């Protein structure tokens, strides 16, 4: 019944994804005695942050977690055609990525698209089915005039027609009220009879109540986190929801294992206090701004780094205005970043005085089909007489892998290295360059400097 998110969304939401592999490994044996339906351990922002900030290989993390969880199914979060990055990747990249995660022993792949555009899910669903993974597609949940019960049911029908195995209601901003949770879960179960999982965040305080309502409506699975990495901008607490649903009878998990996990992750949470979102109580502003847990923690951190935390309230007020202008996209990666950065620029420089390339590409349709029409004035400002595309954005992309292999040379020693470089661009290449400098003792910066060598430069004996 319960899916644990501690090793993925728990720390992504609460400590800006800074938990290291070394913090996870001592807990795997205890996790394996908890009898979870599954554990979400990879994907989302963890791939990027492992490389960008922690100097860790995300593939090595996945390998070690799979080895340590011998009796528990593991799953990841995949951003559809965006994989674990922030742009659409060509189909050959999607094919290789899903092939590799299947080889690493992944059991369940949760796929979502920020815009609920089924075209952006098509390729990843096909490849996941091909490799025998359980395909769960998430409905990106939000609240707007266009996001009605019928809207979500129509989208669910499209997903089931594509062959998905289960559906997740992905409530990244904690906007799912008990009433809407009951209505949506009940309708999905009655209309389609499909397994339904509920994923929410406690940012607004709704989540535990929404879980209870969803449970009464017949939901099958619930995302929770071990108490030290629960609540706040994270998921509801496993211990609380377990006893709320099951009562005080005999547990079907190891109580000593739970005690170890609570003690261990209490220490881990303290270790990363400088990144901690520090939310002590629900934030009712999120009901209106709709900012998801991970976005909130990162936005706050970025504002503090630029000494602009005093603008937080104004940015939170501007976010729903930008969201409306852009056709009510659900705020989840990458649209949360697109909307959040644009809202920040609007506050600092004036509304749409500066427009990011990502906002421009969004308006052009390069991220997919918006749920509602984009503000006509904004569209004219960005596109002029140009029309947005009306087909799958990835159809514009040429295959990427062969070209990348040639450019990377010895840096792309494995498929995993190749994917790190393609998905993360310069950040990935820098990581691989450092890795191979340490391995073979070559200073790539020095080699690049030799390209400036000319015949008339003096040569000195060593």
> 441: left (phi > 0), else alpha (psi -120 to 50), else beta?
left
What's the pLDDT tens digit per position in 155-170?
999 999 999 999 999 9
C-alpha–C-alpha distance, residues 269 and 255, integer Å? 21
Say what the pLDDT of residue 217 is: 98
| pLDDT band, residue 456 (cuts 50/70/90) | very low
Please state the rounded mean pLDDT for residues 443-456.
54
C-alpha–C-alpha distance, residues 68 and 60, integer Å? 12
Q: Residue 112 forms beta bridges with which residues? A: 138
Please state the rounded mean pLDDT for residues 90-105.
98
What's the pLDDT tens digit per position in 208-261?
999 999 999 999 999 999 999 999 999 999 999 999 998 766 789 999 999 999
Say what the pLDDT of residue 22 is: 98
| pLDDT band, residue 394 (cuts 50/70/90) | very high
Percent of the chain with pLDDT over 70: 94
What's the pLDDT tens digit per position in 362-373?
999 999 999 999
Could you tell me the CA-to-CA distances from 226 to 80, 114, 213, 390 in Å, in that order? 27, 27, 21, 44
Q: Per-residue pLDDT for 461 more than 60? A: no
What's the pLDDT tens digit per position in 100-142?
999 999 999 999 999 999 999 999 999 999 999 999 999 999 9
The number of residues in the chain equals 462
3-state secondary structure the chain: CEEECHHHHHHHHHCCCCCCHHHHHHHHHHHCCCCCCEEEEEECCHHHHHHHCCCCCHHHHHHHHHHHCCCCCEEEEECHHHCCCCCCCCHHHHHHHHHHHHHCCCCEEEEECCCCCHHHCHHHHHHHHHCCCEEEEEEECCCCCCCCHHHHHHHHHHHHHCCCCEEEEEECCCCCCHHHHHHHHHHHHHHHCCCEEEEECCCCCCHHHHHHHHHHHCCCEEEEECHHHCCCCCCCEHHHHHHHHHCCCCCCCCHHHHHHHHHHHHHHHHHCHHHCCCCCCCCCHHHHHCCCHHHHHHHHHHHHHCCCHHHHHHHHHHHHHHHHHCCCCCCCCCHHHHHHHHHHHHHHHCCCCCCCHHHHHHHCCCCCCCCCCCCHHHHHHHHCCCCCCCCCHHHHCCCCHHHHHHHHHHHCCCHHHHHHHHHHCHHHHHHHHHHHHHHHCCCHHHHHHHHHCCCCCCCCCC
Structure tokens belonging to residue 315: 């940015």
What are the boundaries of each domain within the chain?
Answer: 2-275, 284-395, 400-449
According to CATH, what is the number of the domain 2-275? 3.20.20.70
C-alpha–C-alpha distance, residues 31 and 69, integer Å? 7
284-395 is classed CATH 2.140.10.10? no
Percent of the chain with pLDDT over 90: 82
Place of tokens 């994923």: 199
Higher-confidence residue: 316 or 102? Answer: 102
175 with 142: CB under 8 angstroms?
Answer: yes
Higher-confidence residue: 296 or 391? Answer: 391
């Amino acid at each position: 019944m319960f899916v644990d998110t501690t090793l993925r969304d728990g720390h992504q939401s609460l400590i800006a994804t800074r938990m290291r592999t070394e913090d996870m490994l001592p807990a795997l044996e205890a996790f394996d005695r908890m009898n979870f339906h599954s554990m979400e351990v990879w994907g989302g922002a963890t791939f990027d942050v492992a490389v960008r900030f922690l100097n860790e290989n995300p593939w090595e993390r996945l390998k070690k977690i799979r080895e340590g969880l011998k009796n528990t199914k593991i799953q990841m979060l995949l951003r559809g055609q965006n994989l674990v990055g922030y742009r659409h990747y060509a189909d050959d990249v999607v094919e290789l990525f899903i092939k590799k995660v299947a080889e690493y022993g992944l059991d369940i792949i949760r796929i979502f698209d920020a815009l609920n555009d089924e075209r952006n899910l098509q390729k990843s669903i096909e490849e996941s089915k091909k490799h025998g993974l359980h395909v769960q597609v998430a409905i990106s949940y939000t609240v707007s005039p266009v996001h009605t019960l019928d809207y979500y049911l129509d989208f669910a029908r499209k997903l089931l027609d594509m062959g998905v195995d289960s559906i997740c209601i992905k409530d990244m901003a904690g906007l799912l009220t008990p009433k809407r949770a009951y209505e949506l879960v009940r309708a999905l179960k009655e209309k389609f009879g499909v397994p339904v999982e509920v994923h929410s965040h406690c940012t607004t305080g709704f989540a535990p109540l929404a879980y209870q309502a969803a449970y009464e409506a017949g939901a099958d699975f619930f995302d929770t986190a071990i108490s030290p990495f629960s609540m706040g901008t994270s998921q509801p607490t496993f211990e609380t929801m377990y006893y709320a649903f099951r009562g005080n009878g005999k547990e079907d998990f190891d109580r000593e294992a739970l005690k170890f996990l609570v003690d261990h992750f209490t220490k881990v949470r303290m270790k990363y206090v400088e990144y901690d979102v520090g939310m002590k109580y629900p934030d009712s502003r999120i009901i209106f701004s709709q900012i998801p847990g991970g976005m909130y923690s990162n936005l706050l951190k970025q504002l503090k780094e630029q000494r602009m935390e005093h603008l937080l309230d104004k940015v939170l007020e501007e976010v729903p205005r930008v969201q409306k202008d852009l056709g009510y996209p659900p705020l989840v990666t990458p649209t949360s970043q697109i909307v959040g950065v644009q809202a920040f620029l609007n506050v600092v420089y004036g509304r749409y005085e500066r427009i990011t390339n990502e906002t421009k590409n969004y308006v052009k349709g390069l991220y997919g089909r918006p749920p509602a029409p984009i503000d006509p004035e904004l569209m004219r400002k960005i596109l002029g007489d140009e029309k947005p595309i009306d087909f799958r954005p990835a159809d514009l992309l040429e295959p990427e892998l062969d070209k990348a292999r040639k450019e990377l040379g010895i840096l792309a020693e494995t498929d995993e290295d190749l994917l790190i470089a393609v998905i993360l661009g310069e950040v990935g290449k820098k990581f691989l360059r450092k890795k191979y400098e340490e391995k073979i003792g070559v200073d790539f910066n020095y080699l690049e400097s030799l390209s400036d060598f000319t015949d008339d430069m003096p040569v000195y004996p060593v």
